Amino acid sequence: MRIPSSYADGYEAARAVETRLADDFIRHTTIGDPLADRVVEDLAATCSPEEVHPLIASALRDPLQLPDGLPDSLRELVNEVSAIPDWYDPTLAQAATRGFIRNSNIIPAALAGAAIVEGFSTLISKSFRIRGRITQNGVRRLRQNLLHLADQYLPGGMEPGGDGWRLTLRIRLVHAQSRMLLKDSDEWDAAAHGLPISAANILLASTTFSARLLQHARRLGAKFSDMEWEGYVHVWRYTAWIMGVPEAILFEDYDEARRRFEIGMLCEPPPDDDAIIMANSIVNSAPLLLGVKDPKERRPFATFIYQVCRELVGDELADQFLFPPSRRIPQVPLLWLKHRLRRVALERIPGFHRLDSGYDYMEMLDISNVGDFEQSYSLPTTVHDEASRPW
């Protein structure tokens, strides 16, 4: 097994905790997504950039009746992810939808204020920074993540042909295209970092947005039943499978997702300059996401988000990200109390919902609107995003 040098120290520490999971993770730092990689190579060889969108759109419009003229690799990919695995449980998915909608005022905060920031503490940040995707489009990235979450947990969203299913496949192909562009770039050091956007990267991101996000949401006051809690991770298990995470390392439930997150983070090197850039870009984009554009209003709001993020991810990681120092009054316990009191009032005070101006599910859908993104299956054409055709 080849061990990329950046992971060497972390891998040794992780093996001392749980050898099998550490071996799984490191083995997949040099593995991409063979089928999706073949799709983008075939598209590059047979299509002009202008032809990519209509071709993919035609394949995903009705996955059970694929049109003629598709590359064999694209046909194989769509057929593979149209066969729902035996382990997928619609009852758990329905429970996840209930929990997601009920906590839709908290989950976006857990995402933007902690989970996505932790995600960029890993080497996946290097892929995004080289391409320039986040530093120039932090708000768009947050909207895309929110849109993906909303589509995942809508009823029927992850069924073949559903909005979440199609969006997940789009993300998978964008990852494959980015991997193809990056791996041949002079800016990517394969000996040190393994494969860009590797299977290990996608596994770790999936555990971050499932088990880890749930932990943050609970600290902020989210309330899930046991079935909703497991259902939330179950939907992400299915999403990760569609996204190309190999079944050999795919988590089965919350406990395994949490453990794979912990071991994966142990394997990762400390955050470098790329991770610092990406994490701070995300935090500073959050006020813009919520429509706070006046610099005088943005600064205190960003300061508040930095404080919440520091409390959620911990001082060690926050210091590595060069976040501002902690303020005297902790904010997370106050947010927990605020959200729990709101929930009690909604459940027990007749008519309170008419007076409540709190953030809700429909508002989350509104701020996650990214316009043409939802309909576009175009792929990036250059390593650096500013030089790419629109996608």
Cα 290 from chain centroid (whole Å): 19
Which pLDDT score is estimated for 359? 53
Distance between CA atoms of residues 154 and 150, nearest Å: 6
140: tokens are: 């768009």
Residue type, 249: I
pLDDT of residue 358 exceeding 60, the answer is: no
Pick the residue with more confidence: 381 or 219? 219
- Contact present, 39 and 47 (Cβ < 8 Å): no
Query: pLDDT band at 160, cuts 50/70/90?
Result: very high
Burial class (CB in 10 A: 0-12, 13-18, 19+), 272: middle
What are 39-62's pLDDT values in tens digits?
999 999 999 989 999 999 999 999
For the cut 80, the answer to whether the pLDDT of residue 74 exceeds it is yes
Q: What are the Cα distances from residue 216, in Å, to 37, 108, 132, 187?
A: 34, 11, 28, 34
DSSP assignment of 202-253: HHHHHHIIIIIHHHHHHHTT----HHHHHHHHHHHHHHHHHTT--GGG---S
- Give the angle 34-35-39 at the CA atoms, nearest 5°: 115
CA–CA gap between residue 273 and residue 56 (Å, rounded): 36
- Scanning the structure block, which residue is given the tokens 């990200």? 321
Take residue 159 and report the two structure tokens written for it.
């069924």
Residues 6+ apart with CB under 8 A from 197: 32, 124, 127, 175, 178, 179, 182
Region of poorest pLDDT, from 63-67, 103-107, 233-237, 344-348: 344-348
Share of residues in the chain with pLDDT > 90 (%): 69
* Dist. CA 160–CA 166, nearest whole Å: 8
Give residues with Cβ within 8 angstroms of 184, minimum separation 6. none
Question: Do the beta carbons of residue 147 and residue 376 sit within 8 Å?
Answer: no
* Pick from 364, 85, 91: nearest CA to 230: 91
First to last CA, the chain: 36
> So what's the pLDDT on residue 391?
55
- Higher-confidence position of 349 and 318: 318
Give the residue with greater pLDDT, 306 vs 372: 306
The pLDDT of residue 297 is 82
For CA atoms 33, 383, 381, 134, give the dihedral sign: positive
pLDDT digits (tens, 9 = 90+) for 87-123: 999 999 999 999 999 999 899 889 988 999 999 999 9
Place of tokens 């393994």: 194
Q: Where does the pLDDT of residue 142 fall: very low under 50, low under 70, confident under 90, or very high at 90 and above?
A: confident
Other C-beta atoms lying within 10 Å of the C-beta of residue 256: 16
- Tokens 């520091």 belong to 310
Instruction: Report the C-alpha gap between 382 and 144 in whole angstroms.
Output: 20
CA-to-CA distance for 116 and 321, rounded, in angstroms? 13
Q: So what's the pLDDT on residue 298?
A: 83
Q: Report the alpha-carbon distance of residue 247 to residue 258 in Å, rounded.
A: 17
pTM attached to this predicted model: 0.91
Average pLDDT over residues 206-211: 98
Residue with tokens 């193809």: 180
- Residue 349 to residue 344: CA distance in whole angstroms: 8
The region that residue 326 occupies, defined by phi over 0 for left and psi between -120 and 50 for alpha, beta otherwise, is: beta
Rounded to an integer, what distance in angstroms lies between the CA atom of residue 389 and that of residue 379?
Answer: 8
Confidence (pLDDT) at 385: 67
Residue 91: its pLDDT value, please?
Answer: 97
Model confidence band, residue 373 (pLDDT cutoffs 50, 70, 90): very low
Query: What is the residue type of 80?
Result: E
68 or 368, which is more confident = 68
